[in-house]
Structure 1
Amino acid sequence: MAQTQQQQKLCFVSVGATAEFPALINTALSADFLSALQSQGYTELLVQYGEDGKDAFDGLMKQAQSGVESSGLKVSGFALDKAGLGRYMRRAKGGSKTMLPGVVVCHAGSGTILDALRTAVPTIVVPNSALLDNHQAELAEALSEQQYVIHGKLDNLGHALQEAEKLRQRQKEWPPVNAGMQRQGKGLKGILDEEMGFLD
């Protein structure tokens, strides 16, 4: 009799390639966030910690060792992937017999957000407040208001994880939640008629 593979669920965390964001790594490895992941059935936490983040990641992993062990999560990290982050985001999207839909948690860099949106995986965007200007916060707020992403905060990432599950459900609705007022209430037939040019 063939043994069935255990289903996996991935939380992929990305800090981007250029600016350090140790606070996001620290929060991702916190006991509270690990517990939130465990309670929602996650099996793996993968952290892209950036070009200069290896020492910070290794140090935080040592501090979080007991929390990681008690969570039962597989936790690992890497610096950069010159081929991009798409394959990790696609893994987080899930959709196979062995891979359940997961989540992406990322800094509010426009390139990373666009990659996540293209993959159509629920995304929690966490602005890096250590940067000089506030463009990341502005971008996170604007995309969150339009219901493309969840605007996450370092002090409440577990709550954002719950909101990401709600976003996943809303993304399955038709018309899309961010389709604009002109598409509200038309239903699938009305939208198809409009796209095909069959207007009353």
Structure 2
Amino acid sequence: MAYDHYVAICDPLHYPLVMSHEVCFRLVVGSWVIGMPVQVGQTCQIFSLPFCESNQINHFFCDIPPMLKLACRDIFVNEMVVYVFAVLFVTVPFMSILGSYSRIISTILKLPSNTGRTRAFSTYSSHLIVVFLFYGSASISYLNTKSNQYEGTDKMLSLFYTILTPMFNPVIYSLCNKDVTEALRKFLPKLLAL
């Protein structure tokens, strides 16, 4: 999506050529092809660990860092694997997205009209908010694997990247739609009058 926005703002005349259906298909397939072996490998890594005492994790769902805390052998290598994958698949994409948005913002600031700048900022700021919520919470959760004293914080952050961000995403994007905002302006006063 960040690449789509980058092309739409920074190279709008070539947008139909650059963002063809084939390119979109390749981006989606590439995400799946890269992500699947990583997840399967991490699942196999967890299944190979011996677990001793408790079989209950102090978390909302079965994720790798809480599972590693239940293992009864040295998990340094496992934690390093989680850390490396977190850097590769969370931090690097996050920095790439921030880089593309810095180019987008510099291009928006060069627009001649204030209305064009305002419209562009309102459109892309919502995506940037969702990106910060998702990648920020995921980065903190996965790059902070040894935090026994902050388990409550880890649990709350996991809610951000698993539940809140996917829930907010359609809401934020639908609020950018003029028809939806107009319908809400008509509906909310009626709702509050009840």
Kindly indicate which of the two structures has a greater share of residues assigned to strand.
Answer: 1
TM-score by length of 1: 0.27
Kindly indicate which of the two structures has a greater share of residues assigned to helix.
Answer: 2
TM-score by length of 2: 0.28
